[in-house]
Chain A
Amino acid sequence: MSQPLPETAAARRPLLEVEDLRVRFSRRGQPPTTAVDGVSFSVDAGEVVGLVGESGCGKSVTSLAVMGLLPERGTQVSGAVRFDGTDLLTLSPGRLAARRGKDLAMVFQDPMTSLNPVLTLGRQLTEVLKAHTDLDRAARRAEALDLLGRVGIPDPRRRLGEYPHQLSGGMRQRVLIAVALACSPRLIIADEPTTALDVTIQAQVLDLLTTLVRESGTAMVLITHDLGVVAGTCDRVNVLYAGRVVESASRHDLFARPRHRYTSGLLAAVPRVDAPEGSPLQPVPGSVRDRLEWDAGCAFLPRCGRGDDACRTGGILLAPTDADRARHAGRPGHPDHEARCVHPAGATT
């Protein structure tokens, strides 16, 4: 159905390569739902890549599919998730479990519910070390102390014996970050790591996460609906819409020259401090539910101001726009700014 995508960095093998990932949920008596509809993206070692989109676009399902955490029953996953060359989707559950936590780890959205309420933080921190390392008890404890210190938790020695409910949300998210980093994974998937936090804490936690990731050379997939978060942290950004990547670009290119109409709509919707007082917000009209099937054209068409009949044919490719090809002319390779749009923004000059 979807053609192979033009390779942007053919020379080196990316750390994580998601190719044509599809996830369908079927429930008895209901038509199946396609949550992820051919998502492809890649993450190089040490790179921070954003997956951006509004609720229901398939961000979280993509991350769960990469980690192999989707429920088996009623879920069909196809495509490939290559981590360092190994397709994680074909690994046995046992082998996949052995890599989870060790090679790739995840930071979840809600720190209030992602820790076990009846066990001490110390137990929860040392447990992952016990599962993946040969450290003895004392060494695990020392490591746990060190981790808590690294994520900026004051008085870690006391905290080890405490329970999750004794910590604030921000502190708990720090603990979850510590747990995810415990075995020095090469890739961390952070699924809206700051959404559940207080705005004042969001920046701190995000800052901590990116600093730790950069320091240790860990790659990160940052899933968010917040373009502000993307602007501050990501190297590359993939914008998802209705289960597909609609635009993929470096952070700079994305903000400077959004190509897909959805991306430009999102950027226009961000409230600006320097806007004249009283000027209305510019939301993207409609909701994700008003969508076309990708096979019938552009899923964003019903909400797009610029669409016409040309958008009603299936198989629109994620490809560099003519404008970007022109900008790229004279340099080797392909431009790394791609959009899945028939009428990209900034094309008609």
Chain B
Amino acid sequence: MSALDALAPPPAPTAEPTGEAGLGPWAAAWRRLRRNPSGIVGAVIVALFVLVAVLAPLLAPYEPATGEWFGEVTPTSVPGPSPEHLLGLDSFGSDLLTQLLYGARSSLVIGVVSTAVGLAVGAVLGILAGGLGGWVDTVVMRVVDILLSIPSLLLAVSVAAVLGRGQWSIMLAISAAQVPIFARLLRASLLAQRGQDYVVALRSLGLRHRRIVVGHMLPNSLGPVLVQATLVLATAVIEVAALSFLGLGAADPAVAEWGRMLVTAQDRLEQAPQLALYPGLAIAVTALGFTLLGEALREALDPRSDR
């Protein structure tokens, strides 16, 4: 076992008898979440981010990446805020606000899809390892170890080299980096359940092992995984930006993307710092939102946080 096993997850929501009688464990967690101010801030940010991403075509004042006002951009200056362009233009002569709003789309899609894929694959591996144990566990966890030993950036570059640049490469790279996290977490979570009294009690009732693992141990192990998924979304948003910053993202300039906006902003950092400021802020705030929400979830699902 590697050192990562020591980072066992907090126990799943084992719902101690609480003052919240009359509520199921999930309902009680939901209630604790709603009472946590930073959780609410996080949830609001995340909700805004999702809304903006989904409604970008309605919210954006112009079409994205038109280069319509390219004539107004000179080698030495980029027009700043004006009544027509609230945040000004970007260096290709498109509306900066429009670009930002559309940029939320790619971040959301890539972040969510890659996290979902990472979670799904990681969960299957984790269930196999933690549920079956024995040699399956050994084999699966060694594969996961190997996956973990490859730096995610290097993996991303190699994937892009094989598949070509683009969203798919980024998604694949990010989810590949997430698989080991989820696999280990779920495995550790399941192992912690294995010795519980209720599992022995279920076995004494003659339930099949698979039924016990999937129907009983898994729901008890989901708390930490849910928390991790939210936190990983924050990292994913940053990684999407980082990978496109390195030029591994979509080659199509018509697709607005926060990371690539930062790249183009580099050349004009002195004359137009807002070009880097806004996408940078967008990335930071979005990541912060997911992190706050994730931490609040962790507290809400942890039975010890009961007050």
Q: For residue B197, which residues in chain A have a CB less than 8 angstroms away from its CB?
A: 108, 110, 113-114
> Could you mark each residue 210-250 of chain B with 1 if its beta carbon is under 8 Å from any beta carbon of chain A, else 0?
01000110011000000000000000000000000000000
The one of A98, A99, A132, A165 that contacts B15, using a Cβ cutoff of 8 Å: A165
Among A16-24, A117-125, A229-237, A253-261, the one that faces the other chain is A117-125
**Tally of contact residues, A, Cβ under 8 A:** 33
Q: Is the CB of A127 within 8 A of B26?
A: no
The answer to whether A69 has its CB under 8 Å from any CB of chain B is yes
Q: Is the CB of A131 within 8 A of B207?
A: yes
Q: What is the CB-to-nearest-CB distance from A122 to chain B, in angstroms, rounded to a whole number?
A: 12
Q: Is the CB of A128 within 8 A of B205?
A: yes
Q: For residue A43, which residues in chain B have a CB less than 8 angstroms away from its CB?
A: none
Query: Chain A CB within 10 Å — which of B24, B201, B202, B215 has the most?
Result: B201
A164–B175 Cα distance when bound, in Å, is 37
Secondary structure at chain A's binding surface: helix, strand, loop or mixed? mixed
A294–B22 Cα distance when bound, in Å, is 54
The answer to whether A67 has its CB under 8 Å from any CB of chain B is yes
Q: A108-B197, A117-B25, A118-B13 are in contact. Are A101 and B207 (CB under 8 A)?
A: yes
**Tally of contact residues, B, Cβ under 8 A:** 29
- Beta-carbon nearest neighbor of A109 in chain B: B197
Q: What is the CB-to-nearest-CB distance from B85 to chain A, in angstroms, rounded to a whole number?
A: 52
Q: In the complex, which residues 159-183 of chain A have their Cβ closer than 8 Å to any Cβ of chain B?
A: 162-166, 176, 179-180
Q: Is the CB of B198 within 8 A of A116?
A: yes
Q: What is the CB-to-nearest-CB distance from A19 to chain B, in angstroms, rounded to a whole number?
A: 22
- Beta-carbon nearest neighbor of B203 in chain A: A69
**Interface residues in chain A, defined as those with a beta carbon under 8 Å from any beta carbon in chain B:** 64, 67, 69, 97-102, 105-106, 108, 110, 113-120, 127-128, 131-132, 162-166, 176, 179-180
A-B contact pairs, 16 of them (CB 8 A): A97-B208, A102-B206, A105-B204, A108-B197, A113-B198, A117-B15, A118-B12, A119-B215, A119-B216, A127-B207, A162-B24, A164-B15, A165-B16, A165-B17, A165-B18, A179-B201
Report the 5 A-B pairs with minimum CB-CB distance, sorted nearest first. A101-B206, A100-B206, A101-B205, A113-B197, A106-B204
